[in-house]
Amino acid sequence: MSHAAPLFQPFTFKGLKLANRIVMAPMTRSFSPGGVPTKQVSEYYRKRAASAVGLIVSEGTVVQRPSAGNDPDVPHFWGDAALAGWQDVINTVHQAGGVMAPQLWHVGAARNPRTTWTAPPPVDSPSGLSRPGKQFGEPMTDAAIADTIAAFAKAAGAAKRLGFDCIELHGAHGYLIDQFFWDGTNTRTDKFGGDLVARGKFAGEILKAVRAEVGPDYPVIIRLSQWKQQDYAARIAQSPDEMAAWLQPLADAGADIFHCSQRRFWEPEFDGSDLNFAGWAKKLTGRPTITVGSVGLSGEFIAAFGGESSKPASLDELLRRFDRGDFDLVAVGRALISDPDWALKVRDGRMDELSNFSPAALAELV
């Protein structure tokens, strides 16, 4: 048995039964031409399901708004063709014994530096800003906000109908939901703007609409981050009190599990404690949490987009925090892109078989 055995205990929550604590982090792969996941996408997820990943969170898959995506090969989570593709994905994952959530996404006004493709208008964002001070599009109208909330709820309903085990809302990394949280991109003066609690109302209304659609027993995860792709040093909550003011209304609105995105999981959230984001979120809300960020790898993922490779790294610090009860689940990103068997190898103590992550792995779906 490997030293990582604690990560291979089962986890149950509502109807969700996970064989272990390893989550495949949501990772955009852009292999779904015209927004439709192919058989190759099903096969990609099947391999991780068959190799001891407890929960797979899909790549971000966009809700039905004209500019929800930032790349034509990112999958949709609407329309007959795309949903048929997702039906095949979830059937294939279930046959392999896996458990899976789609990550429901809207990019808002965030730009994609890796493509010149632009989505049809209108660009949706709280205040027509892609980053502080940088105008892109117009502030969302009340009708656009209502339609977007409904689009998330509809996608959640479709996920449940197709047989997905839970859903995740992408509320992190400077995309639409996070653009509402962040005072740098939300300068609205209506009920969706203002203090931290008001800036959380958009997410809260999405959560309530999703909850109304999927019912009380269906697990809903929300992914959040302090950091933004537009500004790594940005923060929504500057103190534990502010974090409670941010998260508790989301829990009350229907968020069951907080997926706390950091680039390096070991970085403390506030002075005076070594607790990370997932640690604080669990302590403040009592809800289960997922940690993420450079698990098992020496370098972080933004550097990977710049071409940097990473080597396998010790899991000791992760296990110390997990054993202390800081978080319930651990998401792993890049290590699972390059090696579908990463979780299996860790479970079986085959640490010498873990490989480096090279950004070249992003070019293909293996």
Ligand X SMILES: Cc1cc2nc3c(=O)[nH]c(=O)nc-3n(C[C@H](O)[C@H](O)[C@H](O)COP(=O)(O)O)c2cc1C
Report the catalytic residues. Answer: 175
Distance of closest approach, residue 170 Cβ to ligand X, in angstroms: 5
Distance of closest approach, residue 63 Cβ to ligand X, in angstroms: 13
- Whole-number Å distance between alpha carbons of 106 and 67: 8
Q: Which residues contact 81 (CB under 8 A, 6 or more apart)?
A: 34, 35, 36
Distance of closest approach, residue 273 Cβ to ligand X, in angstroms: 22
Distance of closest approach, residue 359 Cβ to ligand X, in angstroms: 9
Is there a contact between 198 and 191 (Cβ–Cβ < 8 Å)? yes
The residue whose Cβ lies closest to ligand X is 333
- Comparing CB distances to ligand X, the nearer of 228 and 334 is 334
- Whole-number Å distance between alpha carbons of 73 and 363: 13
Helices (H) and strands (E) in the chain, counts: 12, 12
Report CA-CA distances (Å) from 340 to 52, 82, 94, 334: 9, 24, 16, 10
- Comparing CB distances to ligand X, the nearer of 162 and 362 is 362
- Comparing CB distances to ligand X, the nearer of 235 and 263 is 263
- Whole-number Å distance between alpha carbons of 20 and 265: 19
- Whole-number Å distance between alpha carbons of 103 and 254: 16
Binding site for ligand X (CB under 6 A): 25-28, 59-60, 103, 170, 172-173, 223, 261, 292-295, 297, 300-301, 304, 332-335, 362
- Comparing CB distances to ligand X, the nearer of 173 and 188 is 173
- Comparing CB distances to ligand X, the nearer of 253 and 304 is 304
Q: What is the DSSP letter of 141?
A: P
Distance of closest approach, residue 310 Cβ to ligand X, in angstroms: 8
Report CA-CA distances (Å) from 81 to 58, 275, 303, 358: 17, 44, 35, 33
Q: What is the DSSP letter of 8?
A: G
Strands 329-332 and 22-24, bridge-based pairing: parallel
Distance of closest approach, residue 57 Cβ to ligand X, in angstroms: 8
- Comparing CB distances to ligand X, the nearer of 29 and 188 is 29
- Comparing CB distances to ligand X, the nearer of 45 and 193 is 45
176-179-181-185 Cα dihedral, nearest 10 degrees: -160
Distance of closest approach, residue 133 Cβ to ligand X, in angstroms: 25
Q: Which residues contact 161 (CB under 8 A, 6 or more apart)?
A: none
β-partners of residue 224 are 171, 260
- Whole-number Å distance between alpha carbons of 319 and 133: 41
Question: What's 197-235 look like in SS3?
Answer: HHHCHHHHHHHHHHHHHHCCCCCEEEEEEEEECCECCCC
